[in-house]
């Protein structure tokens, strides 16, 4: 059971990593590793697209065409996941202010968030596209409720497992990078402030420069 839970977290973690890589400029070996990870974490039919990468071993002339197809697929997946991460981070912030949120898609499956300590319950739904809608809910005295749409996103059905994963995902795992402001996913115990090594390194360089500048200013005053 623990392994299954970790797998769900790793799937979101992989999406977070995908958002920070340079798909066009990646070395061949790194790109191949990324494709392998993508096949592990994504659903059909995306795996068929990604498996095309290995067709080039049989026919090298396919290399350029297959590579472009996969890069475009991963680029769209990255952009969609970035939007989804932003929606879920905003959802976390809404919940922290004490409001109720209704999260649903394709008018067939809904999950009610009442606070960050409670998990949604989601029924599986399969379609070519999933329209995810986030609504702010106000309950009425008569037992009904008014709702206001605050966000929406259209996704490929490849994202369905991720939505089902939300049943076991704490929204506090969605964080904002202190360097670039992008939203990333982090579920491990070790604390983290940055979405990527690049942002961590940039922040380190800034701290070093600020420290150097402060030291130089102190020396100047002493003189």
**Are 162 and 15 in contact, with CB atoms under 8 Å apart?**
yes
Quick one: what percent of the chain has pLDDT higher than 70? 74
The per-residue pLDDT for 121 is: 43
161 token code pair: 């497992």
Same domain, 156 and 77: yes
Mean pLDDT of 61-75: 75
Q: Are 192 and 175 in contact (CB under 8 A)?
A: yes
The DSSP bridge partners found for residue 151 are 134
User: Token pair of 7, please?
Assistant: 């797998």
The confidence score (pLDDT) of residue 107 equals 47
The total number of structural domains that make up the chain: 2
Question: Does 106 lie in the same domain as 214?
Answer: no
C-alpha 118/C-alpha 94 separation (Å) is: 14
Q: Does 203 share its domain with 106?
A: no
67 and 154 part of one domain? yes
Are 14 and 50 in a shared domain? Answer: yes
- Using CA atoms, how far apart are residues 43 and 102, in angstroms rounded to an integer? 26
> Do 146 and 48 share a domain, yes or no?
yes
- State residue 48's pLDDT score: 64
Residues 178 and 222 in one domain: no
- Retrieve residue 110's tokens: 């809904």
- Residue 26 pLDDT > 60: yes
Query: Does residue 44 share a domain with residue 22?
Result: yes
* Nearest Cα residue to 74 out of 132, 111, 30, 138: 30
- Better pLDDT: 47 or 138: 138
Can you list the alpha helix ranges (DSSP code H) found in the chain? 2-18, 28-41, 46-51, 63-96, 160-165, 197-222
**DSSP secondary structure code for residue 128 in this structure:** S
CA-based nearest residue to 136, from 98, 164, 108, 166: 98
Give pLDDT tens digits for 86-144.
Answer: 998 988 888 887 778 777 776 444 444 444 444 444 444 444 678 888 888 888 888 77
- Report d(CA 93, CA 112) in Å as an integer: 16
What is the average per-residue pLDDT within 78-82? 91
Query: Does 112 share its domain with 184?
Result: yes
pLDDT at 51: 66
Question: Do 150 and 205 reside in the same domain of the chain?
Answer: no
- Determine whether 11 is exposed, middle or buried from the number of CB atoms within 10 Å of its CB (0-12, 13-18, 19+): middle
Closest CA to 197 of 174, 180, 209, 213: 180
Q: Which domain holds residue 205?
A: 194-223
Give the per-residue pLDDT at 76.
87
Gap between the Cα atoms of 34 and 30, Å rounded: 6
Query: What is the average pLDDT value for the chain, to the nearest integer?
Result: 76
Kindly state whether residues 60 and 115 are assigned to the same domain: yes
Q: Give the bridge partners for 147, in sequence order.
A: 137
- Per-residue pLDDT of 202-214, as tens digits, reads 999 998 888 887 6
Same domain assignment for residues 172 and 214? no
pLDDT in tens, 150-195: 888 888 777 877 777 777 788 889 999 999 999 999 988 888 899 9
Note the pLDDT of residue 184.
94
């Amino acid at each position: 059971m623990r392994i299954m839970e970790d797998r769900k977290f790793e799937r979101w973690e992989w999406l977070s990593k995908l958002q920070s890589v340079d798909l066009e400029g990646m070395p061949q070996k790194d790109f191949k590793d990324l494709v392998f990870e993508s096949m592990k974490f994504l659903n059909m039919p995306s795996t068929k697209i990604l498996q095309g990468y290995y067709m080039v071993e049989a026919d090298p002339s396919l290399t350029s065409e297959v590579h472009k197809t996969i890069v475009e697929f991963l680029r769209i997946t990255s952009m969609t996941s970035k939007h989804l991460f932003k929606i879920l981070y905003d959802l976390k912030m809404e919940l922290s202010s004490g409001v109720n949120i209704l999260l649903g898609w394709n008018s067939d499956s809904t999950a009610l968030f009442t606070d960050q300590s409670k998990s949604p319950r989601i029924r599986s739904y399969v379609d070519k596209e999933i329209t995810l809608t986030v609504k702010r809910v106000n309950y009425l005295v008569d037992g009904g409720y008014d709702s206001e749409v605050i966000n929406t996103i259209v996704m490929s059905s490849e994202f369905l497992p991720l939505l089902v994963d939300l049943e076991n995902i704490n929204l506090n795992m969605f964080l904002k990078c202190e360097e670039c402001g992008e939203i990333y996913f982090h579920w491990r115990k070790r604390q983290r402030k940055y979405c990527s090594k690049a942002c961590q390194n940039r922040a380190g360089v800034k701290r070093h420069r600020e420290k150097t500048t402060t030291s130089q200013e102190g020396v100047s005053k002493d003189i």
